[in-house]
Amino acid sequence: MERLSLEQLARLVDERPTSEERAILDANPALRRELDALRAQKGALRDLPSMLPPPDSWPELEEKLMAEGLIRGPRRDPAFWRKWMRMAAGLVLFIGGTAFGWAAGGAPAAAPNGLSAGSEAAETQAVSFASLEEAMLAVQEAEQEWSAAFGEFRRLLGAQSERELPGDPAVRLAAIDALLAASRAAVQESPADQFFNGLVVSTLAERQQTLRQISRANWH
């Protein structure tokens, strides 16, 4: 009895069989069941939920990567990680406050009397847009400006506190890439969420700063 190869069966999971292949399938019930099972497996895999690593699994993953020689450097002391956690918490609060301000749609609070009187530079106006597309464009432009400014801030901060920067920035880059992947996945789930979009922007700025540090230190 003529039989289809595994390559042909794999192709028929997504494609319609030719007349010759259809004749072979009609004459071989076992072969049809095998093809149906392959299609069912593909559907089951497609319906699996997206799996993201737990947010607290990085230390264990880092140990495994170091044991396999994929990343270098000694484990950082707790004080170092507490410092970066404080910086990350401050960054999240800043982005969250900015997102809340955009969502509220209100103008910034007015300065106390006497501080802004007679000063045109201190005057602010309520933000309003004619359409959602115009508002999204303004948000994207503001994110680009903020990202550039934050990157310059990190560069200047790194120049002033070079001794406090990690000895092996490759470890930090791996952690940033994990955070970037998680934040991008969140943006895919909620494309209009300003907090998630802001988190992607800030993480990209941190990644650029770390890459510049690696370039300056000539890490290999």
Residue-wise pLDDT for 197-206, tens only, equals: 888 888 888 8
Q: How many whole angstroms separate alpha carbon 61 and alpha carbon 57?
A: 6
Its pTM stands at 0.31
Do 32 and 139 lie in one domain? The reply is: no
Do 166 and 70 lie in one domain? The reply is: yes
Convert the pLDDT of each residue in 118-174 to its tens digit: 444 444 456 677 887 787 787 777 777 777 777 677 667 666 544 444 556 777 888
Do 209 and 152 lie in one domain? The reply is: yes
- Cα of 173 vs its chain's centroid, Å: 13
In a domain, 22, yes or no: yes
Nearest-5° Cα angle at 60, 59 to 63 = 85
Domain membership of residue 30 as a residue range: 1-37
Do 135 and 29 lie in one domain? The reply is: no
Both tokens assigned to 215? 């370039």
In a domain, 212, yes or no: yes
What is the tally of structural domains in the chain? 2
